[in-house]
C-alpha cells in the first residue's frame, strides 16, 4: 500500500481548503468521504454526470489542498478524507460541511 501526495495538514492553509471545497461536486465528495473510510476512485462508485477526467481533476484538487489522500494498493486506487488530521488542525470544519445544506449542483446530488 502506498499513500500518494499527502503533505502534512499543518502545511495546508484554511483558505486553500475552503477554495477546494467551494465547488459543489468537491463538497459532495468530502461529504461522502466524511465517514473516514477509503472509497474507490472508480466512476461507478460516484455516479456524477461528469467525465472521468473531470472527476480526476476534482480528486487532485482535494488532494493538493490537503483534504484527502490517495491510497494505491496494486492497481486499486482509493481516496480517503484526512479526517483525524483535519479535525485536529481545524476543529469542527468537517462537521460543519457535513451538516450544511445540500449542494445546489444537480449532478452532485446523485452521490
| Average pLDDT, integer, range 34-50 | 87
Where residue 82 sits, what CATH number does that domain have? 1.10.10.10
What percent of the chain is predicted at pLDDT more than 90?
61
- Domain count of the fold of the chain: 1
Provide the domain limits for residue 62: 2-110
Task: Note the pTM of the prediction, 2 decimals.
Answer: 0.80
Report whether pLDDT(108) > 50: no
Identify which of 17, 2, 24 has the alpha carbon closest to the alpha carbon of residue 81: 17
Identify which of 23, 48, 28 has the alpha carbon closest to the alpha carbon of residue 102: 28
Beta strands in 5-85 (DSSP E): 39-40, 68-73, 76-81
Report whether pLDDT(107) > 50: no
- Residue with the bigger pLDDT between 33 and 110: it is 33
pLDDT value of position 2: 57
Amino acid at each position: 500500500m502506498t499513500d500518494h501526495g499527502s503533505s502534512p495538514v499543518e502545511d495546508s492553509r484554511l483558505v486553500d481548503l475552503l477554495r477546494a471545497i467551494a465547488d459543489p461536486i468537491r463538497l459532495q465528495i468530502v461529504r461522502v468521504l466524511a465517514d473516514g473510510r477509503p472509497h474507490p476512485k472508480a466512476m461507478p462508485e460516484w455516479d456524477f454526470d461528469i467525465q472521468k477526467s473531470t472527476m480526476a481533476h476534482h480528486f487532485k484538487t482535494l488532494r493538493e489542498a490537503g483534504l484527502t489522500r490517495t491510497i494505491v494498493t496494486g492497481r486499486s486506487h482509493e481516496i480517503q478524507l484526512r479526517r483525524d488530521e483535519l479535525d485536529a488542525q481545524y476543529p469542527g470544519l468537517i462537521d460543519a460541511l457535513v451538516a450544511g445544506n445540500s449542494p445546489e449542483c444537480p449532478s452532485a446530488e446523485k452521490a
